[in-house]
Structure 1
Amino acid sequence: MESKVFRIALAGNPNCGKTTIFNRLTGTRQHVGNYPGVTVERKTGSCRINDFRVEIVDLPGIYSLSSSSPEEKVAFQELLKGDIDLILNIIDAGNAQRNMYLTTQLTELDIPMLLAFNMIDDAEKQGLVFDFQKLEGFFGSPIVPTVGSTGTGLEELRRKIYEIGRDPSPQRPVKPKYGPKTDEAIRALTAGIEALNLPETKRIPARYFAIKVLEDDPEICLRPEFAAFCSEAAEWRKQISARNGMNSRTLMADFRYGVIAGACREAITISNDRRRQLSDVIDKYVTNRFLGVPIFLLMMYLVFQFTFAVGQYPMDWLEAFFGWLGRTVNEVWPVGQAEFLQRLLVEGIIGGVGGVLVFLPNILLLFLSIAILEGTGYMARAAFIMDGFMHKFGLHGKSFIPMLLGFGCSVPAVMATRTIDNESDRKTTIMVVPFMSCGARLPIYAMLIPAFFPEKFQALTMWIIYLIGIVVALGCALLLKSTIFKGEGEVFVMELPPYRWPTLRSILILMWEKTSMYLHKAGTLILLASILLFVINTFPEKKSFSVDYPAEIAKVEHSVASEEEKAGELSRLNAEQKGELLEYSIAGRIGKGLEVVMKPLGFDWKVSSALIGAFAAKELFVAQLGILYSVEDAESEESTLQSALQKNYTPLQGFCIMLFCLLTVPCIATMAVVRREANSWKFMFAQIALYTVIAYVVTLVVFQAGSVLDIGTKPFLPPVRETAIVRQAMPDGGMR
C-alpha cells in the first residue's frame, strides 16, 4: 500500500462544507486549475494518513449525477474514469434528506463510500437526533459526524479512510430498488451492455450505464457504444409508463426519494419543537423585496469603508518603503556610472512595480471582506435578491454569478457565462460583465481617491464608482435585450445556505490565492511593461531646451534670496526641465496626440499616455503615472505620487479619470477571452466600440457639467506641504 496512491473523490451538494473538509485534510498541499473546456474549478490535494499516500479530488458541488450543468458533467466524467478508490460523500446534516438524493445515485457506481454528516453541531441545534447505525444499514456505508469549521470528527474520518484503504475487499454501498418492472428493464439492459465487454464496464458496473440509458441521460446516450440500446430503452420506458402512469425518470427519482424518506423517518428524530432559526429571522429582512437591495448596497459601502480605513496604514508603510528603497539605490549607486540602469531601476522598476504593489493591502482587504460575506452565506442572499432585480433589466438570473466574479477579474467572469444555456442571455452577459469594476482597477481608485477626497468621503466615492458600473451594465443589458438580443429568459433556482461563521483556514487560503495571483502579475507582466514604459518615457532624449537650465540653476544658487525661495525656484526649474524631457519622449508624443481628443474630458497628455498602457493591464495606468512623476520627487521623503497628482489635478479630474477607467475598454486579456467565448471577431470589436463610446460620452458629460456647475474644480483637501528638492547640474545639462 505504501507505493500506491489512494484516490478519494470528495462529493456533495453546494454549501455542504465540502471545501472546508478538503482544506482540513490537505492543508496547503493543493493544486487549483480548471477542467478542460469549462470554467469549473478543479481542485486536487494530497495528504498522508499513517503509511497511506492519499490524493483527494474535490468535485464541484452538485445536486445529482445527471449532465444538466457543467459542474455535473465534469463530476460525472471524473467519477467515470474508474481510478477512484473511495467516494467521500459530504452531507449537510441539517439538510440530510435533500443532500442524500446524490448519495442514492453515488451508490450505483459500486465504489466504496464513506459518508460525512458535516455541520452536525448546527443540526443538533435544530433539535435533530441521528441514529447513525440505522443509517449505515440503509446505505451500506460507514458514517462519521463532523464539524469542518472546528475540525471535530476529522481524526475519526482519517481513521475510517485508513481502515477502508487497508481492507482488501471493502464494503460496497447498498443500491436502491426501483420497482418490479423498472428493475426488470435494468437487468435486461445490464445484460446487453455486459455482453459488449466495454472498457468502461471494467471500471464502472454495467448496471450504472443501464440506468443512465433508461433515464435517457444525454451524456451516455450520445456515446456510440450505447446507441444500440436507445431503442430498447425507449420500449422499456413505454412499458414502465403504461404500468405506473409516469415516465421512468420520474419513477426512479420517486423511488430514490422514497428510500431517503424511509431512512430519515427511521433514523432521524426531532428532540423538541423546531424553534425559528436565526437564519429565518435574518432573511426576513435581508431578502425582503423592499429592504434587500438597500441592505446589499449598504453592505458594499461598509466593505469599501473597511478597505480604505484599515488599508491606509499598510499602504503608507509600503509607500514609505519603496520611497526609501529608491533613495537608497540613488545614494549607493556610484556617481556617473551606468546612469541609465540607475534610472531604469529607480524610476522604471521601483517607481512602476512599486507603485502598483503599494495598493496590495487594499486588494487583500477587499477580497477578505468578500470571502467573509461568502463564508457567512450572505453572498448567496445577494444573488437571490439581485436575481429578481436583474430580471427587470432582461438579464438571466444566472448572469449575476459572472457579474459577481467580475468584481475580481473580468477574464473568469466572461468564461463563467458558459453556465448560461440561453444564447441571447449569454451574449448579453458577456457584453456587460466588464462594466463590473475588476480588482485590476482597484489600484487606480486607491491611488486617486485619497489624493482628492477627504477621509469621510472616500468609501462613499468608491461605492459610487462601483455603483455606476452596475447601473451602466444593467442599462446596457436592458437596451441589448430589447433590441439585438431579444429572447425569453429562464428560471434560476438558487439554494440559500444557513448563516454560519466562515473558517479562518478557508479565508486565509482564498487570500493567499488572490495575493499570489497579484504578485505573479506584478512580477511578470507589470514588471516587463514598466520597463517598456520607462523606455518610451525616456527616448528619444532631448538635447536642447527652451531654457538654459544649468545657467538658471547657477543663478538661483548664487542669488541673495532666502533658502526657502531658492528651494522653491529650483524645484520649479527641475519640474519644467522634466516636463520638456517627457514631452519629447515617445510616450509624450503619443500623449500629446491624444490630448487633442481627451482634453474635453479634463485629461492632459500625461493621463492620456497612461491610458494606453492600461489597455494591456489596468494596473499599468498606475505604473505609468508612477514613472512620469517619479523623477521630480524621487529624493523627497514626504512627496508621493498622490501628492504630485493633488498638485496637478482637481478632484473633478480625478473622479473623471476613475470614471473613464471604469467604463472604457477592458484589458487585452479580457477582449481575447470575449472573442473566444463569442467565437466572433465582430462581437469583440462591437464591444470595444460600445465601451469606448460610453466611456467617452459619460466622462465628457460629467466633466463639462462639473466645470459649469463648479463642482470639484477646487481642492477638497488641504494642500500638501511642499518639500524642497535641490538637484545637481550634470555636465550634459541634465539633472540628477
Structure 2
Amino acid sequence: MKTITIVCVGQPNVGKSSLINKICGAHLKVGNFTGVTIEKHEAQIEHKGYMLKIIDLPGTYSLNDYSFEERVTRQFLENEKYDVILNVADSTNLERCLFLSTQLLELHTPMCLALNMSDEAKKEGIHIDTQILGSILGVECVSVSAFYGENMDMLLDTLIKVATQDSKSNKRVYADFLENEILALEDFLSQKHYDEVEQLIKQGRKDIQNMRDVAIKLLKQDNALSKALHDKGCWGEISAFAQKCINKLYTQSGEKNVRDIFNNDVLGFAKGASMESSHLSAEKRVSLTQRIDDILLNKYLGIPIFLLLMWALFQLTFYLGEFPKEWIEDSMQMFGEWVEEHLPYEFLASLLSGGVIAGVGAVLSFLPHILILFFGIVLLESTGYMARVAFLLDGFFHKFGLHGKSFIPLVTGFGCSVPAFMSARMLKNRNDRMLTLFIINFMSCGARLPVYTLFIGAFFAPQVAGNVLYGVYIFGALVGLCMAKILKLTAFSGDDEPFVMEMPKYRLPSARLVAFGIWHKA
C-alpha cells in the first residue's frame, strides 16, 4: 500500500485540527483560541488503496520566520520530505487566509486548498467560487465543513489526485516593478554561472529550485540564504548587485524595508484573488458573535462577568462533586470491610483494606471535583471565551508587567502546570515568556486540588467550602501578580511586546471532543 504524506498548514483557528479529527477519527487537541497546536501532530487513514499520513503543523499567519510557530512550520516545509500540502483556510476570512496560501505557492510543492467553515460562510451570505479561486492560485480547491463533515471524501480524493499527478503550482507573477528587479537579478546570476549558487539549487530544497527562487530570496534578504552564501567567494559581487536592485525597489515603492514591499505585494495578490472568487449574496448583518461581545467585552462588565463565571465554576465543582465523592468513599469502605471479613489472613486483610483500598479510594474520591473543574475550563476554551478573557485582562496584566497572552498559560496552570509551561512558548518575547514561566508556579494546579479539598473539607462546612477554595485560587494568583511586578522591575526589565490576538467566533464545542478531553485528563 502506497503512503502519501500530507502536511496540514493554515493560520491559527481555521479548524486544521478539527478537520483532521473529522477525517481520521483522531483526537488531536482542539481549542477555540490561537496557539493550541505548538508541536507537530500526526494522524493517518486508509482511503482507496492509499495510506494517508497527515501531519498537523502549528498554526501560523505567514512564513516570515518571526514567531516560534512560523519558524517550526517554515523549517519543516523547506527541509522535510512530504508529498502534498493541505492548506486549510477559513471561508469567512478568505482574504486574510490567502496571505499564507500565496506564500506557500513559492514552495513548488503540490497543494490543495481546503476552504473550511463553508457552513458558516453560507450563513453569512458569502459565496466562494472554488473553480475561479483554484485557477487564480493554480491549485485544487475544495469547500468543506469540519463541523458537519461535508465533502470529506471529495477532499481525500483531491489530495490523492494532487499527490499522484505531475502538477506544479503556477509561477506567481509579482507587481511589475518587483518582477523587473527579480528578472534583472535572475539574469545576472544565470550569466555569471556561480558554482556555489548552482550547488545550492542542486541540494533539492523545496523553496530553492531555480535561479528565480534564489533571486527572490536575495531581494527579500532571506537570512538562511545569506548565511549559506556569506563565506563564498561570489558573495561580494552577488550582494552588491542585489543591493542595487533593492535600492531601486525602495525608490519605486516609497518603502524603507524590502520585506514590507514583498508583504504588500502578497497582500495585494490575496485581496485580488479574494475579490475575484467570492461575493456577498446578502447584506452583511451584525453577527451573533458581535452581539455577545458587546456584553462580554464591555469595558465595565467584562472582568466582573469573568470573575462571576469562575466563582460559579468553583461552586459547582464542590457542590456537584460532593455527591459522587460520597458514593466513592462509601463504596470503597464497603469493599474494604468485605475484604476484611472474607480474607483469613489478618495482616494481609488489614494491608489491603486500610492501605491499598483506602489509599486508592482517598485519591478517587477527589476525581469528580477535578473533572468538573477541567470540564468548565475545556468548555470556556472551546467556545472561544478564553481568547476574550486574554483580551480583557491584557490591560490589567500590563500593570504587573505581564503580557495579555500570558493569561492562557496561567489559566492552563489551574489545570496542570506541565502543559502551562509548554503553552508559554506562544509568547514571542523572551522576557514575557520567562516571566510567565516563573508566575505559573503560583497558579494552583489540579495536583494541588486534592490537598485543598482535603483540608477545606475537614475544616469548613460544605456551604462555604466553594468560597474558600475560590479564595485560595484568587490569593495564589494575586501573590503571583505581585511577584511578576517585582521581577519585571528587576530581572526581566525591558520593552513590552504589543498585544495582538485574533478573536475567534463563538462556536458550540463538539461533545465528542470535550468528552475525550475530560477522559484524557481523568
Task: Name the TM-score class by shorter chain.
Answer: 0.7 to 0.9
| Aligned counterpart, 1:236 | 245
Residues 1:111 and 2:109 aligned together: yes
| The one of 195, 214, 222 aligned to 2:219 | 214
| The one of 443, 448, 451 aligned to 1:441 | 448
| Aligned counterpart, 1:20 | 18
Q: 1 CA distance for matches of 2:472 and 2:330? A: 28
TM-score normalised according to structure 2 size = 0.88
TM-superposed CA distance for 1:199, in Å, is: 6.0
The answer to whether the Cα contact below 8 Å between 1:112 and 1:170 also exists between their aligned partners in 2 is: yes
TM-superposed CA distance for 1:230, in Å, is: 5.5
| Aligned counterpart, 1:280 | 290
Q: Give the 3 Å change call, closer, same or farther, for CA 156–418 of structure 1 in structure 2.
A: closer
Q: Percent identity?
A: 38
| The one of 133, 136, 145 aligned to 2:131 | 133
TM-superposed CA distance for 1:59, in Å, is: 0.6
TM-superposed CA distance for 1:137, in Å, is: 0.9
Q: Give the 3 Å change call, closer, same or farther, for CA 213–226 of structure 1 in structure 2.
A: farther
- The unaligned stretches of length 5 or more in structure 1 are 33-38, 516-736
Q: 2 CA distance for matches of 1:299 and 1:185? A: 61
Q: Secondary structure at the match of 2:85?
A: strand
| Aligned counterpart, 1:144 | 142
Q: Secondary structure at the match of 2:40?
A: strand
Q: Secondary structure at the match of 1:407?
A: helix
The answer to whether the Cα contact below 8 Å between 2:44 and 2:52 also exists between their aligned partners in 1 is: yes
The answer to whether the Cα contact below 8 Å between 1:402 and 1:433 also exists between their aligned partners in 2 is: yes
Pairing of 1:594-613 with structure 2 (within 5 A) = none
| The one of 154, 157, 167 aligned to 1:156 | 154
| Aligned counterpart, 1:196 | 199
Residues 1:205 and 2:205 aligned together: no
Q: Give the 3 Å change call, closer, same or farther, for CA 258–508 of structure 1 in structure 2.
A: same
Q: Give the 3 Å change call, closer, same or farther, for CA 332–279 of structure 1 in structure 2.
A: same
| Aligned counterpart, 2:186 | 187
Q: Secondary structure at the match of 2:115?
A: strand
TM-superposed CA distance for 1:102, in Å, is: 0.5
The residue type equivalent to 1:216 in the other structure is: Q
| Aligned counterpart, 1:44 | 42
The answer to whether the Cα contact below 8 Å between 2:185 and 2:241 also exists between their aligned partners in 1 is: no
Q: Secondary structure at the match of 1:11?
A: strand
Residues 1:318 and 2:328 aligned together: yes
CA-to-aligned-CA distance 1:511-532 (integer Å, 9 cap, x gap): 23323xxxxxxxxxxxxxxxxx
Residues 1:370 and 2:367 aligned together: no
Q: Give the 3 Å change call, closer, same or farther, for CA 322–211 of structure 1 in structure 2.
A: farther
The answer to whether the Cα contact below 8 Å between 2:127 and 2:280 also exists between their aligned partners in 1 is: yes
The residue type equivalent to 1:184 in the other structure is: L
Q: Give the 3 Å change call, closer, same or farther, for CA 48–31 of structure 1 in structure 2.
A: farther
TM-superposed CA distance for 1:80, in Å, is: 1.9
| Aligned counterpart, 1:712 | none
TM-superposed CA distance for 1:508, in Å, is: 2.8
Q: Give the 3 Å change call, closer, same or farther, for CA 447–26 of structure 1 in structure 2.
A: farther
Q: 2 CA distance for matches of 1:430 and 1:87? A: 34
TM-score normalised according to structure 1 size = 0.64
Q: Give the 3 Å change call, closer, same or farther, for CA 111–344 of structure 1 in structure 2.
A: farther
Q: 1 CA distance for matches of 2:138 and 2:216? A: 20
CA-to-aligned-CA distance 1:5-56 (integer Å, 9 cap, x gap): 2111111111111111011122147699xxxxxx933211111112111111
Range moving further from structure 2, 353-362 or 186-195: 186-195
CA-to-aligned-CA distance 1:325-375 (integer Å, 9 cap, x gap): 323332332234xx2x54444333333333223222222222222222111
| Aligned counterpart, 1:610 | none
The answer to whether the Cα contact below 8 Å between 2:413 and 2:445 also exists between their aligned partners in 1 is: yes
TM-superposed CA distance for 1:146, in Å, is: 1.6
Q: 1 CA distance for matches of 2:314 and 2:252? A: 62
Pairing of 1:527-566 with structure 2 (within 5 A) = none
Asked which structure has the greater CA Rg, the reply is 1
| Aligned counterpart, 2:318 | 308
Q: 1 CA distance for matches of 2:240 and 2:358? A: 70
| Aligned counterpart, 1:468 | 475
Pairing of 1:189-588 with structure 2 (within 5 A) = 195-197=198-200, 200-206=203-209, 207-208=212-213, 210-223=215-228, 228=235, 233-246=242-255, 247-336=257-346, 339=347, 341-515=348-522
Q: 2 CA distance for matches of 1:68 and 1:498? A: 26
Q: 2 CA distance for matches of 1:312 and 1:87? A: 50
The residue type equivalent to 1:180 in the other structure is: E
Q: Give the 3 Å change call, closer, same or farther, for CA 112–505 of structure 1 in structure 2.
A: farther
TM-superposed CA distance for 1:231, in Å, is: 5.7
Q: 2 CA distance for matches of 1:186 and 1:328? A: 86
Residues 1:168 and 2:173 aligned together: no
The answer to whether the Cα contact below 8 Å between 1:7 and 1:56 also exists between their aligned partners in 2 is: yes
The answer to whether the Cα contact below 8 Å between 2:45 and 2:52 also exists between their aligned partners in 1 is: yes
Q: Give the 3 Å change call, closer, same or farther, for CA 480–507 of structure 1 in structure 2.
A: same
- Output the aligned Cα RMSD: 2.7
TM-superposed CA distance for 1:418, in Å, is: 4.2
Q: Give the 3 Å change call, closer, same or farther, for CA 275–11 of structure 1 in structure 2.
A: same
Q: 2 CA distance for matches of 1:451 and 1:245? A: 71
Q: 1 CA distance for matches of 2:337 and 2:127? A: 67
The answer to whether the Cα contact below 8 Å between 1:20 and 1:148 also exists between their aligned partners in 2 is: yes
Pairing of 1:75-94 with structure 2 (within 5 A) = 75-94=73-92
Q: Give the 3 Å change call, closer, same or farther, for CA 476–189 of structure 1 in structure 2.
A: farther
The residue type equivalent to 1:196 in the other structure is: Q
| Aligned counterpart, 1:121 | 119
The residue type equivalent to 1:351 in the other structure is: A
Q: Secondary structure at the match of 2:70?
A: helix
Residues 1:97 and 2:95 aligned together: yes
Q: Secondary structure at the match of 2:441?
A: helix
Range moving further from structure 2, 67-76 or 460-469: 460-469
Q: Give the 3 Å change call, closer, same or farther, for CA 51–248 of structure 1 in structure 2.
A: same
Q: Secondary structure at the match of 2:149?
A: coil
Q: 1 CA distance for matches of 2:13 and 2:266? A: 22
Q: 1 CA distance for matches of 2:518 and 2:189? A: 49
TM-superposed CA distance for 1:253, in Å, is: 1.1
Q: 2 CA distance for matches of 1:186 and 1:457? A: 74
CA-to-aligned-CA distance 1:54-110 (integer Å, 9 cap, x gap): 111111111001211111111112212341111111111111111110100111111
Q: Secondary structure at the match of 1:201?
A: coil
The residue type equivalent to 1:147 in the other structure is: S
CA-to-aligned-CA distance 1:689-731 (integer Å, 9 cap, x gap): xxxxxxxxxxxxxxxxxxxxxxxxxxxxxxxxxxxxxxxxxxx
Q: 2 CA distance for matches of 1:312 and 1:293? A: 29
The residue type equivalent to 2:247 in the other structure is: K
The answer to whether the Cα contact below 8 Å between 2:371 and 2:521 also exists between their aligned partners in 1 is: yes
The answer to whether the Cα contact below 8 Å between 2:108 and 2:168 also exists between their aligned partners in 1 is: no
The residue type equivalent to 1:395 in the other structure is: L
CA-to-aligned-CA distance 1:428-485 (integer Å, 9 cap, x gap): 3232221111111122233344444444434333222221122111122122323443
The answer to whether the Cα contact below 8 Å between 1:67 and 1:218 also exists between their aligned partners in 2 is: no
Q: Give the 3 Å change call, closer, same or farther, for CA 502–290 of structure 1 in structure 2.
A: same
The answer to whether the Cα contact below 8 Å between 2:84 and 2:109 also exists between their aligned partners in 1 is: yes
Q: 1 CA distance for matches of 2:359 and 2:240? A: 66
Q: Secondary structure at the match of 2:444?
A: coil
Q: Give the 3 Å change call, closer, same or farther, for CA 465–173 of structure 1 in structure 2.
A: farther
